[in-house]
Amino acid sequence: MLMGEGVEWGLHCCMVLAWLDDHAPIATARLAEIFELPPEYLKKRLQPLVREGILDSTPGARGGYRLARTPERITLMDVVAAVEGRTEAFRCTEIRRRGAGASRAGSDFAKPCGIAKAMGRAELAWRRELEAQTVADLLAGTPANASKYTRSFYERVAT
Amino acid sequence: MLMGEGVEWGLHCCMVLAWLDDHAPIATARLAEIFELPPEYLKKRLQPLVREGILDSTPGARGGYRLARTPERITLMDVVAAVEGRTEAFRCTEIRRRGAGASRAGSDFAKPCGIAKAMGRAELAWRRELEAQTVADLLAGTPANASKYTRSFYERVAT
């Protein structure tokens, strides 16, 4: 059960787009250079973030990305959900109703299966942690010179 | 990011093996009938549980499975870890050190990346929920007649 690299890439790009907001829109090629990532692949990974209203994308030669809302209003869960979808990790296929369960009354299954309930509680605990953290929190926790280095790198490669 | 069906199958099999402990070992074919699952496929899904010391497997024509320890000592996390592995869902590949980060001092990266830390906290919250629930809790939360139906189904198909 693994997250795609799009989550790491997407969150780092959100941080960079916050630092470079006055230069926006930031071209895919520039974002890719900042992290030494393959541009075409990065573009694909950022598409779900555009679709979910986390990034704004401007087409054209002078186009690129900017944050679609403030860093305070983008949670880690928003980015994870955009990239990975909102489907719960555990899928209950109700095997309890089959075979030995097939002859039991439907009312025996009125309560959800304890396994599905426990999995749901665990997933909720996970989501709550990710909902409680925003891109603004990530920015606040980054060494002061990270923003400076990123800006000067960008200004060097973009001109 | 989806869990394999082996988690649902494995946990339901643990419950059934607890109910049928006095009949153990329970053959794969019988377990498969109880849930209308393909026996060969179920066998593969139970192998990691044997490997991780959750189930005991007895080979041979009269062989099968039994719980390797009491239901109180099998957590949901044990079963999820056996089936899915213990790798964290989020993999930090330290892209912050590349490109714009490449010229920064190594000491700038002494603290772990905030993204990885937040993901780790969320995963820990998820694990704690699953570690707090045992197969014994699942059994206690099941309608009283589930065990009875399973036993009478088993006694009918096994003889």
Q: Please, is B108 exposed, middle or buried when counting C-beta atoms within 10 Å of its C-beta (0-12, 13-18, 19+)?
A: middle
Q: Give B117 to chain A, closest Cα distance, Å.
A: 10
pLDDT tens per residue across span A40-84: 999 999 999 999 999 999 999 899 999 999 999 999 999 999 999
Instruction: Classify residue A128: in a domain, yes or no.
Output: no
CB contact under 8 A, A99 and B153: yes
pLDDT at residue B25, as a whole number: 97
Cβ contact B11–A141 (<8 Å): no
Q: Which residue in chain B is spatially nearest to A89 when comparing CA positions? A: B2
Q: Quote the pLDDT of residue B81.
A: 96
Average pLDDT over residues A29-47: 95
Residue B39 contacts residue B95 (beta carbons within 8 Å): no
Asked whether residue A113 is assigned to any structural domain, the reply reads no
Query: How much is the pLDDT for B52?
Result: 97
How far A58 CA lies from chain B's nearest CA (Å)?
23
pLDDT in tens, A118-145: 999 999 999 999 999 999 999 999 988 8
Given a cut of 80, whether residue A159 has pLDDT beyond it is no
Reported as a pLDDT band with limits 50, 70 and 90, residue B58 is very high
Report if residue A150 sits inside a domain: yes
Given pLDDT bands bounded at 50, 70 and 90, which one contains residue B3?
Answer: confident
Please indicate whether, in this complex, the C-beta atoms of B35 and A95 are within 8 angstroms of each other: yes
Q: Which of B6, B4, B34 is nearest to B18 (CA)?
A: B34
Tell me if A102 is assigned to some domain.
no
Q: What is the DSSP string of A89-151?
A: S-----GGGSGGGTTS-GGGGSSPPHHHHHHHHHHHHHHHHHHT-BHHHHHHTS-HHHHHHHH
Task: Express each pLDDT in B4-55 by its tens digit.
Answer: 899 999 999 999 999 999 999 999 999 999 999 999 999 999 999 999 999 9
Q: Do A36 and B95 touch (CB under 8 A)?
A: yes
Question: Is residue B121 in some structural domain?
Answer: no
pLDDT over 70, % of chain A: 100
Which pLDDT belongs to residue A2? Answer: 83
Please check whether residue A30 is in contact with residue A154, taking contact to mean a CB–CB distance below 8 angstroms. yes
B95 falls in which pLDDT band (50, 70, 90)? confident
What is the percentage of chain A residues whose pLDDT exceeds 90?
72
Does A91 score more than 90 pLDDT? no
In sequence order, the 6+-apart residues with CB closer than 8 A to the CB of A27 are A62, A63, A64, A158
- CA distances B68 to A139, A143, B50, B144, Å, are 48, 50, 8, 24
pLDDT for A157 beyond 90: no
Averaged pLDDT, B111-123? 93
Strands (E), A26-103: 55-58, 64-67
Q: Per the structure block, which two tokens stand in for B83?
A: 């089936």
Nearest CA in chain B to A81: B1
CA distances from A84 to A57, A125, B74, B122 (A): 20, 17, 30, 15
In a domain, A95, yes or no: no
Kindly list the residues from chain A whose CB atom is less than 8 angstroms away from the CB atom of residue B99. Answer: 33-36, 153
- Asked whether B54 and B48 are in contact (CB, 8 A), the reply is no
* Domain count across chain A: 1
Q: Is residue B143 part of a domain?
A: yes
Confidence of residue A21 (pLDDT cuts 50, 70, 90): very high
Task: pLDDT band for B119, please (50, 70, 90 cuts).
Answer: very high
Predicted local confidence at residue B70, as pLDDT:
98
Parent domain of A144 = 5-86+134-158
ipTM (interface predicted TM): 0.91
- Residue B124 included in any domain: no
pTM of the predicted model as reported, rounded to 2 decimal places: 0.90
Per-residue pLDDT at A124: 96
**Is A5's CB within 8 Å of B91's CB?**
yes
Domain containing B70 — which CATH number? Answer: 1.10.10.10
**Cβ-count burial of A147 within 10 angstroms (0-12 exposed, 13-18 middle, 19+ buried)?**
middle
Taking an 8 Å cut-off on Cβ atoms, the answer to whether B118 and A143 are in contact is no
Best to test chain B binding among A31, A74, A91, A96 (most B CBs inside 10 Å)? A96
